Structure 1
Amino acid sequence: MAQKKILMFVGDYMEDYEAMVPFQMLLMAGHQVDAVCPGKKPGDTVKTAIHDFEGDQTYSEKVGHNFAVNADFDLVNPDDYDALLIPGGRAPEYLRLNPRVIKHTQAFAAAGKPIAAICHGAQILAAARVIEGYEISAYPAVGPEVELAGAKYIGPNDTFTNAHTDRNFVTAPAWPAHPEWIRQFLKVLGSRIEP
């Protein structure tokens, strides 16, 4: 298996599991993952948030861990990467306001490179206007944005463990889908995990 170079957009209050778990699993699979954040440099950290379901009308949010940025957003060239990874949480709602985040997302999509997004990560895909005609999964609150961007929204199953691949897009509704979402992303990347 050839190592792939994956760009990962991160930001304060991204969902903890949706950042930590795929980052570590992709490293375990032998890939390079460059985590970048506008306004932050390698060695800086972003705060994560832990989202959980505790009987309220929406998820609760608690402070998670500090996640280290390991590459420089200002030096990113999408041509140097094989794939894009977008965690969910609150970060996508403001990262999508950054013109370079949008431009980079559009470059990955135009090149047909694999793009994995989970939960609120689809907000960046919708803002970049790259999902028209695709089937995209996301957290239910993001479903209207997915549809307004011209995609067919694929909702969660009862346990939020489903993921969906449509060509180069691998998407999922929330962190309970990690096993399926990351399995599908690895398949699109051409990776194999030996038993």
Structure 2
Amino acid sequence: MSKIAFLLAGGFEDSEMKVPYDSLKSDGHDTLIIGLKKGEELKGKNGEASYQAEEAIESVKAADFDAVVIPGGSSPEGLRTNESILRFVKELNEAGKPIAAICHGPQILISAGLLEGRTITSYPPLKDDMVNAGANFVDEEVVVDGNFITSRTPKDEPAFIREIKHKLGASVSR
């Protein structure tokens, strides 16, 4: 099975972390919650989920992972200025590994300079930010563009998870 990084800070959208995390973990994937500080307790913005950062971003290597999931909410805003987070995402992208971002998750992709010429979606009010970063924004439940998988909101989670699993199946069978 695949080793999947979940990039997380406090204030994440509870279900956008919990639902994909639980689904991928129950399928047998090796999941690791990566934050800015190992052991830090990270609480969802709605108080429905809480996780502990299992590793700090400085102590992991992108080459050790098969994919990354970036939940939305306020979490991406708390991560997008960290150079190690940006380097991690850039290295996964250079390797062509799946990068799945939902809601505000693509903010990290903006800060990493990865959206030029890509077709994506996100939380709809971020459209101008995505377009200004060079992306072709579409308002759809899930958009797959190469190794990028993006979705808008919690209601899109089933399609988001389906496409992550599809992409992982394709990358595992290579």
What is the Cα deviation at residue 64 of structure 1? 3.1
The answer to which structure has the higher helix fraction is: 2
Aligned equivalents of 2:83, 2:125: Cα separation in 1:
23
What is the Cα deviation at residue 134 of structure 1? 1.1
> Alignment partner of 1:170: what SS?
strand
Q: Find out whether 1:129 has 2:113 as its counterpart.
A: yes
The aligned counterpart of 1:83 is 67
What is the Cα deviation at residue 154 of structure 1? 1.4
Query: CA-atom RMSD, angstroms?
Result: 1.3
Structure 1 alignment gaps of length 5 or more: 51-62, 157-161
Q: Find out whether 1:48 has 2:32 as its counterpart.
A: no
The aligned counterpart of 2:5 is 7
Aligned equivalents of 1:166, 1:154: Cα separation in 2:
11
Contact in 1 for aligned 2:57/2:84 (Cα 8 Å): no
What is the Cα deviation at residue 71 of structure 1? 2.7
Pick aligned residue for 2:26 from 20, 25, 28: 28
Pick aligned residue for 1:151 from 135, 149, 171: 135
Pick aligned residue for 1:141 from 125, 131, 144: 125
Contact in 1 for aligned 2:7/2:33 (Cα 8 Å): yes
The aligned counterpart of 1:37 is 35
> Alignment partner of 1:30: what SS?
coil
Query: Normalization by structure 2: what TM-score?
Result: 0.93
Aligned equivalents of 1:66, 1:95: Cα separation in 2:
17
Structure 2 alignment gaps of length 5 or more: none
The aligned counterpart of 1:165 is 144
Mapping of 1:60-99 within 5 angstroms?
63-99=47-83
What is the Cα deviation at residue 146 of structure 1? 1.1
Contact in 2 for aligned 1:14/1:87 (Cα 8 Å): yes
Aligned equivalents of 2:2, 2:84: Cα separation in 1:
22
Identity %: 34
Pick aligned residue for 1:177 from 143, 156, 159: 156
State the one-letter code of the partner of 2:70: I
Contact in 1 for aligned 2:35/2:54 (Cα 8 Å): no
What is the Cα deviation at residue 29 of structure 1? 1.3
Query: Normalization by structure 1: what TM-score?
Result: 0.83
Aligned equivalents of 1:65, 1:5: Cα separation in 2:
22
What is the Cα deviation at residue 47 of structure 1? 0.9
State the one-letter code of the partner of 1:103: R
What is the Cα deviation at residue 69 of structure 1? 2.0
